[in-house]
Structure 1
Amino acid sequence: MSVIASQEDVQSIWRSADAVCFDVDSTVLEDEGLDELAEFCGVGLEVREWTKRAMGGNVSFREALTARLKIVNPSHQKITEFIKHHDVRFTPGIKELVAKLQSRGTEVYLVSGGFHSIIEPAAKGLNIPTQNIFANKLKFYYKGEFAGFDENQPTSDSGGKGLVVKQLKERFGYKKLVFVGDGVTDMEACPPADAFIGFGGNVIRSSVKEKAAWFVMSFQELISELDKAS
């Protein structure tokens, strides 16, 4: 893993980015989707411990994902109820930031270790098309019982976010793709991302704060930087 040399370099790429990938949990949204689902299913505390381990980079992402889902064991009905009753809590400034990027012709993606069905309402609220969501997919048996997750999705394992970035660059020829996120798995996507911006507005991961060339505490900082280019 290598992070671009200086804050100025990152800011320069940010001001002229042709694509931006945002992490979702604790970045675009104030909370962690799987933790919230676990809370809804009555096993919040147990699952939060695993999330901390996963985000700190102490266990492989897939191992943590498997363990957490085993505890939650969500049926299709439970997921539907959760989506219906759970309010989408956007991080302050994200709606303005995404709208600003889109008005400049910058393509915006959501790349998450969370779940497609849970992220869709957030994407809708940001006017991001569903085909721009790269996330995990839950599997269910015929009667709706939980059957695991699709292990073919790149985001289901460590290094998966980097794989998504690589595929996007190959497919669309992006030259200045920026990844914005709070976690180690986000930072690991650069390279192949051309720049990484660490986000600490909801939670500060010490390893990300130490290693990111540019670490911001609010989306307003990113909006202000874009304003310099206009």
Structure 2
Amino acid sequence: MSTMFETKAILRSADAVCFDVDSTVIKEEGIDELAKFCGVGDAVAEMTRNAMGGNIPFKKALTERLAIIKPTRDQVNRLTNDQPPHITEGMMDLIVRLQQRNVQVFLISGGFRSIVEHVAARINIPLTNVYANILKFHLNGDYAGFDESQPTAESGGKGLVISLLKKERGFKKVVMIGDGVTDLEACPPADAFIGFGGNVVRQPIKEKAKWFVTSFQEITAELEDKK
């Protein structure tokens, strides 16, 4: 297992860095915001807490929460237009720094592609570097489920995406950054994991991450100091 020192060394030599989105790149939890927007915020927030705390399989938790929300295509579009998510402080500087170093940046989210693409566009990440769940709608725009074939719809999905990136794009060193258990569990196959507590501190992550930060500036500073 790597120490903080080794984690920092891997970051400095990484050819790809993957970010979780909810409570990491953005301050909100996308599914909870969508639930609030659709008028079922309390019921879904309670389920999110249970999903985070208990060992409910990710797909089951996602299915159950979406069955309560039943978001229409119009509601999802209005949410991103009317209440765009807030980008976490320091995120943009870190991405610029990584891109200056020719590091590929990816967003890997258990949230929804329609919302994550909106975030990616704002922080200058190509949509080909976005992995997230895809909501399905009937022709009239009503909710019709989600694409269960996406790796991000499964427990362990973020690790599957990272394995895929290594295989298909030939990355040698991949770093995962995030606030949750699904991010921690993606290492391995990620070569290093950085726990992020800038929006919410989850105790298991703080305890288990070899390097735990509460601001993106800490990561950017590590890249500034040494070549």
What interval of TM-score do these two structures reach, taking the shorter chain for normalisation?
over 0.9
Provide the alpha-carbon RMSD of the alignment: 1.0
| Number of the residue aligned with 2:114 | 117
| Number of the residue aligned with 2:28 | 31
State how far apart, in whole Å, the 2-side matches of 1:53 and 1:194 are: 29
1:108 maps onto 2:105 in alignment? yes
How far residue 56 of structure 1 moved from its aligned partner, in angstroms, is 3.1
From 65, 68, 71, give the equivalent of 2:68: 71
Whether contact under 8 Å (2:35, 2:44) holds in the other structure is yes
| Number of the residue aligned with 2:3 | 6
1:212 maps onto 2:177 in alignment? no
1:154-196, CA deviations, whole angstroms, 9 ceiling, x for partnerless residues? 0001000000000000112111100000000001100000000
Q: Secondary structure at the match of 2:223?
A: helix
1:23-62, CA deviations, whole angstroms, 9 ceiling, x for partnerless residues? 0000000010111111111111111112222233521111
From 140, 153, 159, give the equivalent of 2:137: 140
Q: Secondary structure at the match of 1:99?
A: helix
| Number of the residue aligned with 1:194 | 191
State how far apart, in whole Å, the 2-side matches of 1:186 and 1:122 are: 19
From 69, 78, 81, give the equivalent of 2:78: 81
From 177, 181, 186, give the equivalent of 1:184: 181
Whether contact under 8 Å (1:198, 1:214) holds in the other structure is yes
Q: Secondary structure at the match of 1:59?
A: coil
1:97 maps onto 2:82 in alignment? no
State how far apart, in whole Å, the 2-side matches of 1:50 and 1:26 are: 17
Whether contact under 8 Å (2:28, 2:85) holds in the other structure is no
Across the two proteins, how many residue pairs are aligned to each other?
227
Q: Could you list the structure 1 runs, at least 4 aligned residues long, displaced by more than 6 angstroms after superposition.
A: none
Q: Secondary structure at the match of 2:27?
A: coil
Structure 2 spans left out of the alignment, 5+ residues: none
From 151, 155, 158, give the equivalent of 2:152: 155
State how far apart, in whole Å, the 2-side matches of 1:24 and 1:94 are: 11
State how far apart, in whole Å, the 2-side matches of 1:175 and 1:17 are: 7
Tell me: higher relative CO, structure 1 or 2? Use CA pairs within 8 A at least 6 residues apart.
1
Q: Secondary structure at the match of 1:34?
A: helix
State how far apart, in whole Å, the 2-side matches of 1:207 and 1:12 are: 23
TM-score, length-normalised on structure 2? 0.97
